[in-house]
Chain A
């Protein structure tokens, strides 16, 4: 049992890494890059939704903020693209401080609404500040510069950008597994008890919010550099919605679920766009409704749950459950979509 538990994780990790490496051989490289960026974004959101129990509906502000700042730095300074992307991530983190400070005091639907409101304010600013952002034309002509390397081929860019994406995943993984991550989970499961134990709950939530925003900004920056522009759409609320949908689809609180959800949504969208089918919304909407009604743990969560019940153990979890410490057998607190709200 213990052996299999130890063995399961490296196998998954190696498989994931392998997939990440061969992805642009299997599908069109720009689409592969989109999947990588959205996967990181979904993971970052899952950090908040699945592990802290906060449903943010305003993460477009950080994804889009990162995209615009990365784009602006690349356009105006001509610095190598990783610098621009990191600047985008830093901006997202800084932006998250006041927004998070004001929102984390709220719970459930109120938290979601306040983050949405802040994100819409950012959208309005980006739309109005035309001299800087290009308004609804978007910020066009963002260069991809890295010490004179020719990155115009998306295939090459994917591999150059992949380390940054992977670094983002490692960061999420580390956060979740750290003592800090444990405290987040205890806040998610029982805020009052965490407070009674003496943890400054709001400060923990704020830090989780900022970290999640920072990683979303990183993903957004990579996305903007990859496409060569930042668009108004990236700060619009539909972008927040899409990320939430990816997490729910894949499975809240599973990390892998976000990746899977992102891959599915991006790939499905890409397929339907070319297939000439008009009702893209109908297809994705139906899938979403089915998942929420039938597989409330999401695809990854359901698969893991099935494996767990079949092996009969009390939660021999091969996935991302933190090993040791926490009582493994406790029912997954993130079963339903509704629970974190």
Chain B
């Protein structure tokens, strides 16, 4: 039934193409095979809850930009003549993500689902992508399980993960001289993953984790840990916190109240988005080091894209915004190269593909586990006095090359 329907649509589409060719100046040419006559990109993310700020609707805008750029670049030669961008709000609920993903693939004929923050929702959608044999490029989730035990042929992980966050910061900060670490992490899967990766990175770089303490999640009082830090033996040079969101805000405020920086204990953060700095204010986080997958003001190219984004969305892009743009672009480019939107052909095009775009520099999509490898930044939050324009919060200390930023070898648990 379904196959029949799709065949019928294909015939109609082919007919339309032929008619189009007969009328037009012969553009396009051989084998235009786009399912349902159009390419459908769907952004499924949090548009109403805690992650709405850092990606949400602004990422839909970014995907629209990717579509416009693709059309402008290829014009009549575009394989995907008609491109539709859909969006849905999963409210951070895995059940909603799961049903919506099914509906997007089945009913709304989505060829690609993008974004999907928070690990449970992302893994749920990966399961749907596998069952429906359609593409899914996750940006918003950090879990390495997407390219590990739960990986599959149709799922790509695009932008960042816990390894990259922990390794980037842990390794670099240790090599820069801060040998002794005290780690505080929220006691749930993300925090535990981060703690493990961080410890490995610090030890690997010749440093030492003096102690790591789990904190309840969520938590608003970190004084136990902050009071204890200066008294540890040997005294830690850095406090590494894996808290995120509201917990991070509380911890940083209390860190400032206890004046730990004046006591010689720096602060490194596991996961931070530019939107966090924006809401907390630069001074609250000044001096904090963290790994950022992308920063809008890191290079003239980044800035050029950020200007275009700002014209559309009215604010500077976060890295998930840029990553959504990039993922949509790379998908459309793959459609262009393959001459079709057939998922298997696209997967073949994407695997091992090396490229460069506004978001991803020196980028490769690793064929073995579908993880995007690209250059990332070690960033430091500027004090408010150095912030010269809105959203100008980060100083890039270092570019971490793609080869070092992510897991050097694919997880052996991943069987595509």
Q: Is the CB of B94 within 8 A of A278?
A: no
For A130, the closest partner residue in chain B by CB is B189
Q: Is the CB of A28 within 8 A of B123?
A: no
| Residue interface mask A220-244, B partner, CB < 8 A = 1 | 0001000111011110000000000
Q: Is the CB of B127 within 8 A of A140?
A: yes
- Cross-interface CB contact of A140 among B103, B124, B192, cutoff 8 Å: B124
Kindly state whether residue B48 has any CB partner on chain A within 8 Å.
yes
Set of chain A residues within 8 Å of B52, measured between Cβ atoms: 278
Q: Is the CB of A228 within 8 A of B95?
A: no
Set of chain A residues within 8 Å of B87, measured between Cβ atoms: 276
Set of chain B residues within 8 Å of A138, measured between Cβ atoms: 94, 120, 123-124
For A273, the closest partner residue in chain B by CB is B89
Q: How far is the CA of A10 from the CA of B376 in the complex (A)?
A: 67
Q: A138-B120, A228-B131 are in contact. List 10 more A-B contacts (CB 8 A).
A: A30-B99, A130-B189, A136-B188, A137-B145, A138-B94, A227-B99, A231-B95, A273-B88, A276-B89, A279-B48
Chain A 250-302 residues near chain B, CB threshold 8 A: 269-270, 272-274, 276, 278-281
Say which size band chain A's interface belongs to: 20 to 34
Chain A positions near chain B (C-beta within 8 angstroms): 28, 30-31, 34, 127-128, 130, 134-138, 140-141, 152, 154, 223, 227-229, 231-234, 269-270, 272-274, 276, 278-281
For residue A31, give the distance in angstroms from its CB to the closest CB of chain B: 6
Given contacts A140-B124, A280-B89, A281-B48, contact A227 B95 (CB under 8 A): yes
Which of A31, A134, A138, A280 gathers the greatest number of chain B CB atoms within 10 Å?
Answer: A138
Set of chain B residues within 8 Å of A136, measured between Cβ atoms: 119-120, 188-190
| Residue interface mask B78-115, A partner, CB < 8 A = 1 | 00000000011111011110111011000100000000
For B52, the closest partner residue in chain A by CB is A278
- Cross-interface CB contact of B91 among A34, A128, A135, A273, cutoff 8 Å: A273
Set of chain A residues within 8 Å of B123, measured between Cβ atoms: 137-138, 140, 229
Kindly state whether residue B161 has any CB partner on chain A within 8 Å.
no
For B89, the closest partner residue in chain A by CB is A273
Q: Is the CB of B190 within 8 A of A228?
A: no
Kindly state whether residue B47 has any CB partner on chain A within 8 Å.
yes
Can you list 27 A-B pairs, Cβ within 8 angstroms, ordered by A? A28-B99, A28-B103, A30-B102, A31-B99, A31-B103, A34-B95, A34-B99, A130-B189, A136-B120, A136-B188, A137-B120, A137-B123, A138-B120, A140-B150, A223-B95, A227-B99, A228-B127, A229-B124, A229-B127, A231-B94, A233-B95, A273-B88, A273-B89, A278-B48, A279-B48, A280-B91, A281-B48
Q: Is the CB of A227 within 8 A of B103?
A: no
| Residue interface mask B306-344, A partner, CB < 8 A = 1 | 000000000000000000000000000000000000000
Set of chain B residues within 8 Å of A140, measured between Cβ atoms: 123-124, 127, 150
Kindly state whether residue B143 has any CB partner on chain A within 8 Å.
yes
For residue B357, give the distance in angstroms from its CB to the closest CB of chain A: 27
For B56, the closest partner residue in chain A by CB is A278
Say which size band chain B's interface belongs to: 20 to 34
Given contacts A30-B99, A228-B98, A276-B89, contact A135 B188 (CB under 8 A): yes
Kindly state whether residue B187 has any CB partner on chain A within 8 Å.
yes
For A279, the closest partner residue in chain B by CB is B48
For residue A128, give the distance in angstroms from its CB to the closest CB of chain B: 7
Q: Is the CB of A233 within 8 A of B99?
A: no
Q: Is the CB of B127 within 8 A of A233?
A: no
Given contacts A137-B119, A278-B48, A281-B48, contact A154 B93 (CB under 8 A): no
Set of chain B residues within 8 Å of A276, measured between Cβ atoms: 47, 57, 87-89
Given contacts A273-B96, A278-B47, contact A227 B188 (CB under 8 A): no
| Residue interface mask B200-228, A partner, CB < 8 A = 1 | 00000000000000000000000000000
- Cross-interface CB contact of A229 among B88, B89, B94, B103, cutoff 8 Å: B94
Given contacts A34-B95, A152-B131, contact A274 B120 (CB under 8 A): no
Q: How far is the CA of A232 from the CA of B190 in the complex (A)?
A: 13
Set of chain B residues within 8 Å of A232, measured between Cβ atoms: 120
- 6 pairs of A and B residues whose beta carbons are closest in the complex: A135-B189, A231-B94, A138-B120, A30-B99, A278-B48, A136-B189
Set of chain A residues within 8 Å of B91, measured between Cβ atoms: 273, 280
Chain B 36-81 residues near chain A, CB threshold 8 A: 47-48, 52, 57
Set of chain A residues within 8 Å of B95, measured between Cβ atoms: 34, 223, 227, 231, 233-234
Q: How far is the CA of A281 from the CA of B85 in the complex (A)?
A: 25
Q: Is the CB of B150 within 8 A of A141?
A: yes
Q: Is the CB of A227 within 8 A of B98?
A: yes
Q: How far is the CA of A270 from the CA of B102 in the complex (A)?
A: 13
Chain B 177-195 residues near chain A, CB threshold 8 A: 187-190, 192
| Residue interface mask B11-49, A partner, CB < 8 A = 1 | 000000000000000000000000000000000000110
For B94, the closest partner residue in chain A by CB is A231
Set of chain A residues within 8 Å of B90, measured between Cβ atoms: 273
